Amino acid sequence: MSRSEYDDEAYVVIERTSGSFGSFLVGIALGAGVALLLAPDSGLETRRRLRREARKVKRAAREKAGELADNVTDRYEHARRTVEDKLEAARSALELKRRQAERAIEAGREAAHQAREDLERRIAESKASYQAGADVARESRGRRGRVEAAVDADLDEDLDEAEG
């Protein structure tokens, strides 16, 4: 079979697309045109019926537009409330962390102040202990010198008596 044998045959192309509101309106318009052509009523009756149907379609379109607007408004309000709630939660968390940081800084300052006071007190005690030890050492050296002088004097006396 050659390629030319298939070229003469008819074929149908089917495309799948999703419908939309525009497609719906085009369908209505085509249906109305076909209805006019095939209408068994008189022209006056057909026009009246078309006006009634047009009003119905207009009302239905208004209702759908109103529902769509309400839906959009509701979704917007919900999103706005959600964002506001999240912002408020973030603000609250920031405020809590700020207060915690302030308390931690203040506690650190107080601990540093207390540590400084304790260190200064210990240094003063150490200085006082050192001074007291130095005074005792000086005093004991002074006493030892007087004792040695007295012993030397006694020895000199004893030696003088022994020689004498």
Report the pLDDT value the prediction gives residue 78, as an integer from 0 to 100. Answer: 94
Please state, in angstroms and rounded to a whole number, the distance separating the CA atoms of residues 155 and 150.
9
Q: Which two tokens stand for residue 124?
A: 């003063």
**AA identity, residue 104:** A
Please state, in angstroms and rounded to a whole number, the distance separating the CA atoms of residues 15 and 23.
14
* Of residues 63, 2, 53, the one with CA closest to residue 29: 53
CA atoms within a 13 Å half-sphere pointing along the CA-CB vector of 84: 6
Report the pLDDT value the prediction gives residue 157, as an integer from 0 to 100. Answer: 74
The whole-model pTM stands at 0.41
Report the pLDDT value the prediction gives residue 73, as an integer from 0 to 100. Answer: 93
Report the pLDDT value the prediction gives residue 16, as an integer from 0 to 100. Answer: 60
Query: Tokens 């005074």 correspond to what residue?
Result: 135
Determine how many CB atoms are found less than 10 A away from the CB of residue 32: 13
Please state, in angstroms and rounded to a whole number, the distance separating the CA atoms of residues 44 and 42.
5
Per-residue pLDDT of the chain in tens (164 residues, 90 and over written 9): 455 555 566 666 555 666 677 777 778 888 877 776 776 767 778 778 878 888 998 898 899 889 999 999 999 999 999 999 999 999 999 999 999 999 999 999 999 999 999 999 999 998 888 888 887 777 777 666 666 666 677 677 767 777 76
